[in-house]
């Protein structure tokens, strides 16, 4: 089945419904919801849900099925929506989202790149993201002021291999590592561990004492988390 986020006028809803056993289309805008409801006469496998994907109970809507996701996401809430989806990562087969190109670049960025940050690590922890293609502003009506991209994410990501027990704590740890990108990792981690412990962990992992978060791979974050965790000693 497909979960569609931000179904809009239903262009993709129609296409998804042609080949899927079940399509759940979520839309917040009331007039658009009414228009989407009219499509149910053409496609009995289409379900329309009015509401905000961040507030809805997805498990109640979808049930126990595995599902795929398509969404044309509002640029300013891309990160919260991804966080919400990753809560159901064990049941998601793939995610395809249309987002601002700048944000897409962040999702796929590798260590050492300027765009690499917490959102990169989060996305690559759960998925294997790639930019399928870029979309010019003229493809939309009305055209936005920025370019967009379709990002395809296959699941699972590095999460399956790393086997981290407390994933929420790990992601909070990574978020702390990127708290201030201009600062060194050691400075950002002062709030959760004393300086000697951080420096000892960096030395054990053969990392430069002045290393910054954007230089670390997911494997290195996992190793550092294992040494430091969320301790505040």
Q: pTM for the full model?
A: 0.93
Query: Nearest CA to 176 among 111, 108, 113, 229?
Result: 229
| CATH number for the domain whose boundaries are 2-159 | 3.40.50.150
* Residue 50 near residue 28, CB atoms below 8 Å: yes
Kindly list the domain boundaries of the chain, sorted by start residue: 2-159, 167-228
- What are 79-130's pLDDT values in tens digits? 999 999 999 999 999 999 999 999 999 999 999 999 999 999 999 999 999 9
For the beta carbon of residue 156, count every other beta carbon within 10 angstroms: 14
Q: Which two tokens stand for residue 228?
A: 């430091």
Examine the pLDDT at 66 and tell me if it is beyond 60.
yes
Average pLDDT, the chain: 93
- What are 172-200's pLDDT values in tens digits? 999 999 999 889 999 999 888 888 999 99
- The correct CATH number of 167-228 out of 3.40.50.150, 1.10.8.100, 1.10.4190.10, 2.40.50.140 is 1.10.8.100
Q: Which pLDDT score, from 0 to 100, does residue 233 have?
A: 45
pLDDT band at 230, cuts 50/70/90?
A: low
Q: Which residue has the higher pLDDT, 181 or 46?
A: 46
Distance CA 157, CA 125 (A): 5
Cα maximum dimension of the chain: 66
| Beta pairing partners, 48 | 25
Q: Which pLDDT score, from 0 to 100, does residue 23 have?
A: 98
């Amino acid at each position: 089945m497909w979960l569609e986020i931000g179904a809009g006028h239903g262009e993709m809803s129609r296409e998804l419904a042609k080949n899927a056993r079940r399509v759940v289309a979520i839309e917040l805008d009331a007039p658009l919801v009414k228009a989407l409801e009219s499509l149910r006469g053409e496609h009995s496998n289409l379900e329309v849900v009015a509401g905000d994907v961040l507030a809805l109970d997805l498990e109640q809507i979808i049930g126990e099925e595995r599902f795929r996701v398509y969404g044309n996401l509002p640029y300013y809430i891309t990160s919260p929506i991804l966080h919400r989806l990753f809560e159901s990562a064990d049941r998601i087969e793939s995610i395809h989202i249309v987002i601002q190109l700048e944000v897409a670049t962040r999702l796929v960025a590798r260590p050492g790149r300027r765009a690499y940050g917490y959102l990169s690590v989060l996305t690559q922890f759960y998925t294997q993201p790639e930019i399928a293609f870029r979309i010019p502003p003229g493809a939309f009506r009305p055209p936005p002021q920025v370019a967009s991209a379709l990002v395809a994410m296959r699941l699972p990501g590095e999460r399956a291999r790393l086997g981290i027990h407390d994933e929420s704590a790990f992601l909070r740890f990574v978020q702390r590592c990127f708290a201030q990108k201009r600062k060194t990792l050691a400075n950002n981690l002062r709030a959760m561990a004393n300086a000697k412990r951080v420096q000892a962990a960096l030395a054990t992992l053969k990392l430069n004492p002045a290393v910054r978060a954007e230089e670390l791979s997911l494997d290195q974050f996992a190793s550092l988390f294992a040494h430091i965790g969320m301790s505040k000693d």
